[in-house]
Amino acid sequence: MAKPLLITMGDAAGIGPEIIAKAFREAPAELAGCAVVGDVATLRRAAALVASPLALPVAQLGSLAGLSGVPPQCIPVLQQCALSGLVPYGEVSGVAGQAAADCIVWAARRVLAGEAAALVTAPIHKAALAAAGGWAAQFPGHTEMLQAEAAAFLGKPVGEVPVRMMLANEELRTVLVSIHMSLRQAIEAVTFDNVLQTLRITHAAVGAGLGRAPRIAVAGLNPHAGEGGLFGSEEQAIIAPAIAAARAQGLDVSGPFAPDTVFMRARQAAGKPGEFDVVVAMYHDQGLIPVKYLGVEQGVNVTLGLPLVRTSPDHGTAFDIAGSARADASSLLAAVRMARRLAAR
């Protein structure tokens, strides 16, 4: 790629730095042209943790221009956060939350400015963001933070830059109507406008990746998709009308289907292509559990609707194993590969 790809280190107390170091150790060719935005001392600790049998050096860059001089199997780091010392593994820390947020914002602005091709974000901890206080605490996660940065860049209110989360692997893609909110709030967010907007964003983003109009399936909200109104009216009153409106606009949309079977119908299994290219789910766990069950190690989180490419591993900070050298870098590498493909469109 002509422009670098940026990887944010995530929460310094979690597995983000470790999986970044493992990725550079295990797949240096795939990480060529990538720079880490984070804390040099934290990345050096991670590199020492996973370096066996060979040393894994960490080079501090003064700017993105210095990336071209970094040799293979050396981790290039742009110091873009303030940590007075190494944070303990596995502990929620406002200091780590603020450092993670600072890295995300700096990297997003570089991509929005055209200085970098895409952004891959290592996992952050939502409680650490909240503990940071100040501006970082207002964001429940990456998606909302990046939405705010994109809106500021475009000179628009946040509400005019709608975004959605897609989780994808080789077998299944799912896009969510709502993201990080309580289940009660998520049910209230199932409105005609939100469902229709999700279908439009999904059609545009997934279609751009496929090079054709995607076949979109829509999951119902209630068991059995409401069973004709016996188990709830949202399918008849909200979801089906939004699907009809999307079809009238030329989108290939079907449903609403029973949530307990639609994901199986869309799965791209060996020798058995799925009926659909993507499933639109009504809320966070409804859509993410099926994809993660198929294999966290290959799942990639993609933010749709942004004026920049952003991907992420589909797992969290894993505080329980942070610092043990047991974390798997496969999902991070999958996120890097997907970011490259999307940025090359």
Nearest to 328 by CA among 6, 46, 15, 42: 15
Task: Tell me the C-alpha distance between 333 and 19, whole Å.
Answer: 9
For the cut 80, the answer to whether the pLDDT of residue 314 exceeds it is: yes
Task: Give every CB contact of residue 227 below 8 A, 6+ residues apart in sequence.
Answer: none
For the cut 70, the answer to whether the pLDDT of residue 294 exceeds it is: yes
What are the Cα distances from residue 62, in Å, to 7, 17, 67, 95, 320?
Answer: 16, 20, 9, 23, 34
Regarding predicted confidence, which is higher, 105 or 269? Answer: 105
Per-residue pLDDT tens over the stretch 188-206: 999 999 999 999 999 999 9
pLDDT at residue 296 in the model = 63
pLDDT at residue 335 in the model = 95
For the cut 80, the answer to whether the pLDDT of residue 53 exceeds it is: no
Provide the b/e sequence for 53-63 (b: ≥16 CB within 10 Å): eeebebbebee
- Look over the chain and give the mean of its residue pLDDT values, rounded to a whole number: 93
Task: Give every CB contact of residue 212 below 8 A, 6+ residues apart in sequence.
Answer: none
All structural domains of the chain, each given as residue ranges with its CATH number in brackets, are 1-159+306-345 (3.40.718.10), 170-294 (3.40.718.10)
The pTM (predicted TM-score) of the whole model is 0.90
**Backbone torsions φ then ψ of 172, nearest 5 degrees:** -155, 140
For the cut 70, the answer to whether the pLDDT of residue 220 exceeds it is: yes
DSSP state of 86: P
Describe the strand order of the beta sheet including 34-38 as a list of residue ranges: 58-61, 75-79, 34-38, 5-8, 118-121, 310-313, 300-304, 164-168, 173-176, 278-281, 216-219, 253-257
pLDDT category of residue 1 using cuts at 50, 70 and 90: low
